[in-house]
Amino acid sequence: MRYATFIHDGSQKVGTVSADGLSVTPLALNPAEAELGVLALVIRQVQGQALPAPAGAPMALAQVRLVAPVPRPRRNIFCVGRNYQAHAKELAGSIFKGNNQPTDSWPIVFTKVPETVVGPFDNVQLPTGISEQIDYESELAIVIGQGGRNIRREDAMAHVWGYTVVNDVTARDVQTRHAQWHLGKSFDTFCPMGPWVVTADQLDGRDTRVRGWVNGELRQDASTQDMIFDIPTLIETCSRGITLLPGDVIATGTPAGVGMGMTPPAYLKAGDVVRIEIDGVGIIENRFV
């Protein structure tokens, strides 16, 4: 199933997306649940409650405004750095300097604040005067279902509720200025997400294709099979001594082809449009302004 969060007639709703991707059928949620978006469905399911019934006729997707499926994650988004070998190589002289050994046994994990999240087709604001090196990162993101601590690798896939697409937008100059990446990853609007969540029974995130375009030019193209640390390992790692909660989002890292990896580096400027597609999930497309 694909579940979307959307605005119709001024109010936020959650619905199921039709097989042809052209319409969405709203679900019967109370207003507090609707504010949580798809997170409300995750919570219901892990609490053993029935998923809500349809509430009305299907609406054309063209007639609604999609927002991020989880418009405001309940806490920071977990993000993985340096998770594709070719990307580790392209930034070996900058971001991953001193940390680019293929044998490194632990993933880099950092977070973005929840307020970075914007919708799948919303604008991203360039932080003018603060950073001149804005970059895109096309990524598959996991939405956690049943939470847990010390989740074992072999049990991890049972904790995946679904998948969505994110752009882990990054200010490279700010990222490299500080030992930790939090500031350079957390500017307002720096996490476009969507277009919906695909449930884990419909997609195996361990084997899908991630692509990213800038102004129609294909820049990133990789299989999630090429991850250095696979999804079960990421869940095991993030839950070591930390209780993962239903609805937690883990962005799994970006393939090669980011702007900083180009010669010379090609950063985003006003008017640029970044489109990300993940096979089996969908497309997000955001203009930088």
Residues forming contacts to Mg ion in the complex (CB under 5 A) are 137, 168, 254
Q: Least CB distance from residue 40 to Mg ion, whole Å?
A: 27
**How far apart, in whole angstroms, are the C-alpha atoms of residue 68 and residue 89?**
32
Nearer to Mg ion, 137 or 236 (CB): 137
Q: Which two tokens stand for residue 98?
A: 């001193």
Q: Which is nearer to Mg ion, 224 or 254 (CB)?
A: 254
Please state the closest distance from residue 172 (CB atom) to Mg ion, in A: 12
Residue number, nearest CB to Mg ion: 168
CB of 31 to Mg ion, least distance (A): 34
Contact 102, 130 (CB under 8 A): no
Phi, psi of 8 (to 5 degrees): -140, 130
How far apart, in whole angstroms, are the C-alpha atoms of residue 204 and residue 278?
Answer: 12
Nearer to Mg ion, 14 or 166 (CB): 166
CB nearer Mg ion, residue 5 or residue 111:
111
Nearer residue to Mg ion within complex by CB, 23 or 111? 111
d(CA 210, CA 154): 24
Structure token digits, residue 127: 């932080």
Measured between alpha carbons, how far is 120 from 191 in angstroms, rounded to an integer? 9
Q: Among 238, 231, 249, which Cα is nearest to 150's?
A: 238
In terms of Cα–Cα distance, which of 16, 46, 17 is closest to 29? 16
Judged by beta carbon, residue 144 or residue 260, the one nearer Mg ion is 260
**Cα 117 to Cα 68, 154, 193, distances in angstroms:** 7, 30, 7
CB 287 to Mg ion: min, Å: 20
The CA dihedral of 160, 166, 172, 175, to the nearest 10 degrees, is -40
CB 175 within 8 A of CB 254: no
Nearer to Mg ion, 168 or 230 (CB): 168
Q: What 3-state class would DSSP assign to 178?
A: coil
Q: How far is the CB of 139 from Mg ion (least distance, A)?
A: 6
Least Å distance between CB 81 and Mg ion? 6
Q: Classify 40 as helix, strand or coil.
A: helix
Nearest distance from C-beta of residue 210 to Mg ion, angstroms: 11
Q: At 244, which amino acid appears?
A: L
In the chain, count of helices (H) and strands (E)? 6, 18
**Beta carbons of 231 and 205 less than 8 angstroms apart:** yes
Comparison of 122 and 168: residue with beta carbon closer to Mg ion: 168
CB of 222 to Mg ion, least distance (A): 13
